[in-house]
């Protein structure tokens, strides 16, 4: 996947809020193309969020998550200048990682 994630993170009152938009087709394997052939399943299976290399969120997804998923979460801690990284792996073994500064 060539496109990057869009991640924003901001800290206030000891809590960091993270918003991420991931570009991914999230195909269930149940749809068919114009010729009636099944479109193979292709979806994110695991998402990990790190704050300065410490895991703050781990999620296991399936085919029921929508195309180009949006992830929004909060965690305690974080300060301006810290790094938030989001990584995902899909059912085809493809992966992506991106980060932002708080």
Q: Mean pLDDT, to the nearest integer, of 7-32? A: 95
Record the pTM. Answer: 0.88
Instruction: Give CB contacts under 8 A, 24+ apart, made by 38-44.
Output: 41/91, 42/90, 42/91, 42/92, 43/90, 43/91, 44/69, 44/88, 44/89, 44/90
Domain residue ranges of the chain, discontinuous segments joined by + = 6-28+41-101
pLDDT for res 45:
97
The arithmetic mean of pLDDT across residues 37-54, rounded, is 96
Rounded CA gap, 41 and 38, in Å? 9
Q: Residue 23: exposed, middle, or buried by beta-carbon count in 10 A (0-12, 13-18, 19+)?
A: middle
- As a CATH number, domain 6-28+41-101 is 2.60.40.10
């Amino acid at each position: 996947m060539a496109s990057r994630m869009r991640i924003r993170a901001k800290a206030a009152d000891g809590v960091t809020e993270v918003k991420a938009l991931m570009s991914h087709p999230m195909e269930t394997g149940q749809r068919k193309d114009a010729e009636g052939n099944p479109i193979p399943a292709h979806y994110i299976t695991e998402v990990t969020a790190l704050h300065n290399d410490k895991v703050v969120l781990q999620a296991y997804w399936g085919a029921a998550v929508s195309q180009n998923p949006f992830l929004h979460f909060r965690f305690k801690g974080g300060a301006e200048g810290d790094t938030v990284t989001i990584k995902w792996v899909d059912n085809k073994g493809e992966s992506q990682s991106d980060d932002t500064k708080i």
